[in-house]
Amino acid sequence: MTVAVAVKKNKDIVLAAETQFNYGSATYSSANHKAHKIIKMGNAYVACTGWSLYENIFEDYLSGKKKVSLNSKKDIFKFFIKFWKDLKKNYSYVEDQADDDESPFAHLDASFLIVNKKGIFHVSPNMSITQFEKYYAVGSGADYSLGALFTLYDQKQTAKNIAKQAVEAAIAYDIYCGGEIDIIKV
């Protein structure tokens, strides 16, 4: 569980995430462990919400790749289609886990928030890609962060300050969010 927030304002694009680590309802002090949830992938930054195992899978998966292109909605979609196929082939413990038994689509059981110079992109668990013009948030604390983003966005603040405050709102109200805040500016 986590929260990740992306904000695009003026010429700045920022991605922020908290660093709390949970195993179910157990959480660990940030003095003992920080779960850095933002990963650099090629020319983009990716925050993953859901299973922390994705950090290990991405690290392993990307170790053999020379170049990852996440420049556009189309590139991101192509990456995740290939990623899904390779997950099924190379990581045998990954299962189809659609929330809806009647869904015909694959299910990653995680959401991803991607930022690059061109914008903010959300990859849903069923791998649909949505681009956002101003801001977006994913994770268990997303509802709190989205409320904060809606309120803060039109104020005279930087993208970095808005993202930080939106993550702080999730930390204040969602028990699965906490720790320190990592912030990356594209």
Token reading at 161: 């300050």
pLDDT band at 126 (very low <50, low <70, confident <90, very high): confident
- Name the fold adopted by 3-93+103-185: Glutamine Phosphoribosylpyrophosphate, subunit 1, domain 1 (3.60.20)
pLDDT tens per residue across span 56-110: 787 888 887 778 889 999 999 999 888 888 887 877 655 555 555 555 566 677 8
Residues near 63 by beta carbon (within 8 Å), at least 6 away in sequence: none
Q: Of all residues in the chain, what percent carry a pLDDT higher than 70?
A: 91
Global pTM reads 0.89
Report the amino acid identity of residue 81: I
Sign for the pseudo-dihedral over CA of 153, 155, 159, 161: negative
Of 6, 9, 57, the residue nearest 153 (C-alpha)? 9
Residue 103 is classified by DSSP as: -
CA distances from 48 to 11, 12, 91, 104 (A): 24, 21, 18, 23
CA distance 177 to 186: 24
